[in-house]
Structures are given as C-alpha cells and as structure tokens.
Amino acid sequence: MKVNVIKPFRDKHTKVVYQKGQEIEVTNERYEEINSTAHGVLVKPVEVKAKPKGKK
C-alpha cells in the first residue's frame, strides 16, 4: 500500500530517514507497526481516486 509521511521518522529496519510529504510503499503489517509507535501516527494511506468512466 502507498502511504504519505506526515511526520519525519527513521525506519528501524532499513535505517532510511523519511521526510514529511514523501510517498512510500509499505505492507499493511508495516503500516500498522509504523503507526503504533509512541511517536503517534507517522504515515497515512494515499487516497486512490477512481478514474471516471468515459463515454464510448
């Protein structure tokens, strides 16, 4: 799933520092793990906009 970083953080597994506004790909399990820290919610899901169906 794609998520937007809303608070900067360092990934404890990869040691990569993510900055506010970045869009990253994570699993559902990793999403839950990132947001369950004592630092609060760090990422939020990217809203997928449905493409309007065109007339044929």
Q: What is the DSSP string of 18-46?
A: E-TT-EEE--HHHHHHHHTSTT---EEEP
d(CA 29, CA 56): 41
Domain boundaries, the chain: 2-45
Model pLDDT, residue 56: 59
Q: Could you list the pLDDT tens digit for every one of the 56 residues in the chain?
A: 999 999 999 999 999 999 999 999 999 999 999 999 999 999 999 987 777 776 65
Listed in sequence order, the residues at least 6 apart from 34 whose beta carbon sits closer than 8 Å to its beta carbon are 9, 26, 42, 43
Model pLDDT, residue 49: 77
Model pLDDT, residue 47: 86
Predicted model pTM: 0.78
